[in-house]
Amino acid sequence: MNIPKPLITKEHGSWPVLFVPMIVSTCVTQRFTIDVLFVALSVACVVLSYPSLQIILRHWFVQSQGDEKLRPAIFWASVFLFMACVLSLPLLAKGFWLLLPIGGIGALFSILNVAVTSTFRKTAGSDLLAVLGLTLGSPAVYYVAMGRIDMTAVSVWFLNFLFFGCGIFYVHMKMRATGLKRSDLTMFEKLSIGKLNIAYHLVVLIVVFLLTWMHYTPQLVFAAFVPMAIHAFTGTVTLTRRIRFRSLGFVLLGQSIVFSLLMILAKWS
């Protein structure tokens, strides 16, 4: 039997969304243990199974995907999910039972994402569902490291979700601009295309400022969102239909690194 080629997601931006929250949570707890490694690898295996599961779910509920796509999908979904289970068993044996509802919530968001993208076109809303699922690695790592889910765990997860949501609205703004026939846009057109991008970043800045002001999060956390917000606002003002997605990917990766470093350097209680 020939082993089929692995089905790996083509959305390379999903990897920072997966790993940055887990790295930040690990550094916030300052407890890098074998259990943390197990849960991180388990989450990664589940994410690796997602492209295959997407094909299977669409085959079951939307339309036939054909044997050429279905058989490799079943094979790799089985392999990755088996590995995730093997890595999770030692954690469950130690009593980390909250991993099950965390995983269940992540699975729910993934199924909703498949349902939305199969019924409608890919939207910022569907991508936010994916981010909700991917960032749940953050509370999972925190829970295994600290043995509990507390306000810090929720705050770190929520802030990661807000941050990566920023990238979603920025990219979708850029994608809308590429569909235009003219390269020279008026300021009104730029603001019209980028209104959701601007609105989301303003709401995020207000929410993070309030969390900082009420001492729910360290002061440095607000600074972690400033570079992305500046990039979003200037990107809207200078918007054109020409875009280099490769360069944009590197810029967003750099923003993720800055965000994670400032989150890690913040003094969490």
The reply to whether 3 falls in a domain is no
Percentage of the chain lying above the pLDDT 90 cut: 50
Summarize the chain as % helix, strand, coil (round to 5).
Answer: 75, 0, 25
pLDDT surpasses 90 at 74: no
Instruction: Kindly state whether residues 31 and 99 are assigned to the same domain.
Output: yes
Query: Would you place residue 233 in the very low, low, confident or very high pLDDT band (cuts 50, 70, 90)?
Result: very high
Instruction: Kindly state whether residues 258 and 210 are assigned to the same domain.
Output: yes
Largest CA distance in the chain: 61
pLDDT surpasses 80 at 71: yes
Instruction: Kindly state whether residues 186 and 222 are assigned to the same domain.
Output: yes
The reply to whether 2 falls in a domain is no
Instruction: Kindly state whether residues 96 and 178 are assigned to the same domain.
Output: no
Instruction: Kindly state whether residues 263 and 190 are assigned to the same domain.
Output: yes
Last residue of a domain, one of 99, 117, 148: 148
The stretches of 120-219 forming alpha helices (DSSP H) are 124-134, 137-146, 151-178, 187-193, 195-213
Query: Would you place residue 1 in the very low, low, confident or very high pLDDT band (cuts 50, 70, 90)?
Result: low
CA 153 distance to own-chain centroid? 16
What pLDDT shows up at residue 119?
A: 64
What pLDDT shows up at residue 120?
A: 62
Number of domains in the chain: 2
The reply to whether 123 falls in a domain is yes
What pLDDT shows up at residue 49?
A: 87
Instruction: Kindly state whether residues 35 and 47 are assigned to the same domain.
Output: yes
What pLDDT shows up at residue 190?
A: 87
Instruction: Kindly state whether residues 129 and 104 are assigned to the same domain.
Output: yes
Last residue of a domain, one of 98, 122, 148: 148
The reply to whether 254 falls in a domain is yes
Mind listing the pLDDT tens digit for each residue in 80-128? 999 999 999 999 999 999 999 998 888 888 778 777 776 667 778 888 8
What pLDDT shows up at residue 51?
A: 84
The reply to whether 93 falls in a domain is yes
Range of the domain at 193: 150-269
Instruction: Kindly state whether residues 13 and 56 are assigned to the same domain.
Output: yes
What pLDDT shows up at residue 269?
A: 65
Instruction: Kindly state whether residues 160 and 117 are assigned to the same domain.
Output: no
Instruction: Kindly state whether residues 93 and 204 are assigned to the same domain.
Output: no
The whole-angstrom separation of Cα 203 and Cα 166 is: 10
Check: CB of residue 120 under 8 Å from CB of residue 126: yes
pLDDT surpasses 70 at 41: yes
Instruction: Kindly state whether residues 133 and 79 are assigned to the same domain.
Output: yes
Last residue of a domain, one of 148, 176, 206: 148
pLDDT surpasses 80 at 60: no
The reply to whether 1 falls in a domain is no
Instruction: Kindly state whether residues 133 and 177 are assigned to the same domain.
Output: no
What does pTM read for this prediction?
A: 0.90
**Highest mean pLDDT: which of 2-16, 54-68, 228-242?**
228-242
